[in-house]
């Protein structure tokens, strides 16, 4: 696993921060956010792309590519891949982005407005397109297996990991480098979400308290950025080379609400079916799942519908026995990278038998009345867990992880 996040730039730093209930959200410093109602975010700090990428190449990349390249390099090292001795035709890459090169899009648009077509960069298109990150990772490491990208808004990384799992299961490849990356913290990104009234506005003066999933005082999500990449490998292939195995990705479900461009279905029907499919795909029964890392965006509609979806999936009695947390309370919402962050959470919860909290839970909402692990981590025997991801357009994806 590899990770660049608002809570640090390694899975272990990220994990210890989450378990301590620390928030990575603060005032936006990268540009002047004063014209907007929302002026806080989970920014990436203390990150130098040249620690991972040659300077000449880094100058030709959008920040989402910087983050994804760094996370992939960490993941490949963590997996102990001796690439020179492996069949690189059997190693693929599927690292997606919900938005792609938004920094480059804004910069090039501004250049055009000032000085016309002569100021377009010849690198503009390859800097912007969402699939360029998968391409760069493959070029850097010589990986010649399946290579493309998925863009499904906030479900991007979950779809990327799930479809990677399917390619391994089908025998197309032995190993996939999978995940998501995002960097949309500029005027275009913030301004667009702000205009939608999707972002938290109440707590610009207290940013660490702004993301409050399932709390009755929630008023929108907090934007974040970063990348997380995981190495997925066929189990026997991994065992044969003595790999360090965190957990098994055992099940995957994906559905569509077919309802609204931004709002989830009010009954949670699509999210529930994705969870049911993932559990069945893993060969489990609902009562064998102990923990859910919820999508939990801190928006009024998402948290309510996800609660209903969990009840629909597990039944009222079992739903109240589950531990459910939203780590977006600490990271903010990293859009296309979110599910990859949260897959790291699931893997380490299974490894360490502890689940992180939902912080900022102060005012219970009777419509979100499940056990959201409020404010403090919890020691818990976890054998199986789910990672929910629900994207604009009605895209639902659920991953089921098991302990090994």
Angle between helices 102-115 and 187-195 (to 10 degrees): 110
In sequence order, the 6+-apart residues with CB closer than 8 A to the CB of 90 are: 145, 173, 174, 175
Q: How far apart are the C-alpha atoms of 95 and 57, rounded to whole Å?
A: 19
Beta-carbon contacts of 171 under 8 Å, excluding residues fewer than 6 positions away, are none
Longest dimension (CA), the chain: 65
Residue 34's pLDDT is: 97
In the chain, the domains with their CATH numbers are 2-402 (3.40.47.10)
Task: Specify the pLDDT at position 61.
Answer: 97
Q: Please name which of 201, 163, 193, 198 lies closest in space to residue 179, comparing C-alpha atoms.
A: 163
Query: For residues 287 and 272, what is the distance between their CA atoms, to the nearest angstrom?
Result: 15
Whole-angstrom distance, CA of residue 12 vs CA of residue 188: 32
pLDDT tens for each residue of 254-313: 999 999 999 999 999 999 999 999 999 999 999 999 999 999 999 999 999 999 999 999
Residue 354 has what pLDDT? 98
Mean pLDDT along residues 350-360: 98
Strands 91-96 and 175-182: parallel
pLDDT at 6: 98
- What is the per-residue pLDDT for 151? 98
Q: What is the pLDDT of residue 1?
A: 98
Q: Encode pLDDT of 28-81 as tens digits.
A: 999 999 999 999 999 999 999 999 999 999 999 999 999 999 999 999 999 999
Arithmetic mean of pLDDT, 85-90:
97
* Position 112 confidence tier, pLDDT thresholds 50, 70, 90: very high
Helix 338-352 × helix 11-19 angle, to 10°: 70
Parallel, antiparallel, or unpaired: how do β-strands 291-293 and 384-391 relate? Answer: parallel
pLDDT score recorded for residue 67:
98
The whole-chain average pLDDT of the chain stands at 97
- What's residue 253's pLDDT? 98
pLDDT of residue 143: 98
pLDDT of residue 279: 98
Could you give the CA distance from residue 403 to residue 382 in angstroms, rounded to a whole number? 8
Q: How far apart are CA 217 and CA 376, in angstroms?
A: 19
Q: 314-336, pLDDT tens digit by residue?
A: 999 999 999 999 999 999 999 99
pLDDT of residue 27: 98
Cβ pair 204, 211 in contact under 8 A: no
pLDDT of 346 reads: 98
The per-residue pLDDT for 167 is 98
Q: What is the pLDDT of residue 232?
A: 98
Residues recognised as catalytic: 154, 295, 333
């Amino acid at each position: 696993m590899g990770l660049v996040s608002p809570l640090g730039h390694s899975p272990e730093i990220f994990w210890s921060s989450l378990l301590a209930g620390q928030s990575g959200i603060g005032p936006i410093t990268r540009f002047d956010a004063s014209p907007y109602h929302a002026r806080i975010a989970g920014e990436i700090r203390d990150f130098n792309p040249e620690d991972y990428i040659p300077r000449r190449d880094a100058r030709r990349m959008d920040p989402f590519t910087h983050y994804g390249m760094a996370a992939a390099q960490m993941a490949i090292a963590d997996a102990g891949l001796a690439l020179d001795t492996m069949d690189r035709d059997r190693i693929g890459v599927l690292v997606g982005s919900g938005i792609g090169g938004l920094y480059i899009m804004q910069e090039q648009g501004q250049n055009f407005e000032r000085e016309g077509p002569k100021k377009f960069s010849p690198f503009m298109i390859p800097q912007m397109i969402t699939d360029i990150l998968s391409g760069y990772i493959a070029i850097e490491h010589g990986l010649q297996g399946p290579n493309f990208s998925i863009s499904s808004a906030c479900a991007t990384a979950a779809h990327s990991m799930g479809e990677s799992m399917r390619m391994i299961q089908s025998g197309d490849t032995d190993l996939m480098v999978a995940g998501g990356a995002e960097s949309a913290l500029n005027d275009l990104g913030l301004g667009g979400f702000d205009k939608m009234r999707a972002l938290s506005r109440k707590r610009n003066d207290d940013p660490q308290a702004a993301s409050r999933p399932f709390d009755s005082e929630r008023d929108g999500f907090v934007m974040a950025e970063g990348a997380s990449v995981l190495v997925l490998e066929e189990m026997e292939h991994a065992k044969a080379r003595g790999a360090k195995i965190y957990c098994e990705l055992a099940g995957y479900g994906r559905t569509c609400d077919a309802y609204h461009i931004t709002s989830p279905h009010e009954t949670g029907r699509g999210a529930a079916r994705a969870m049911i499919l993932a559990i069945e795909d893993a060969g489990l029964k609902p009562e064998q799942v102990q923990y859910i890392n919820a999508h939990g965006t801190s928006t009024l509609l998402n948290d309510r519908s996800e609660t209903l979806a969990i009840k629909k999936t597990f039944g009222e009695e079992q739903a109240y026995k589950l531990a459910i947390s939203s780590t977006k309370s600490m990271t903010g919402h990293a859009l296309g990278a979110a599910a990859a962050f949260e897959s790291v959470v699931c893997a380490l919860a299974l490894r360490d038998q502890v689940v992180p909290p939902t912080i900022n839970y102060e005012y219970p909402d009777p419509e979100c009345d499940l056990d959201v692990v409020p404010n403090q981590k919890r020691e818990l025997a976890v054998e199986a867990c789910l990672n929910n991801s629900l994207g604009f357009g009605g895209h639902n994806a659920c991953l089921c992880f098991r302990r090994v």
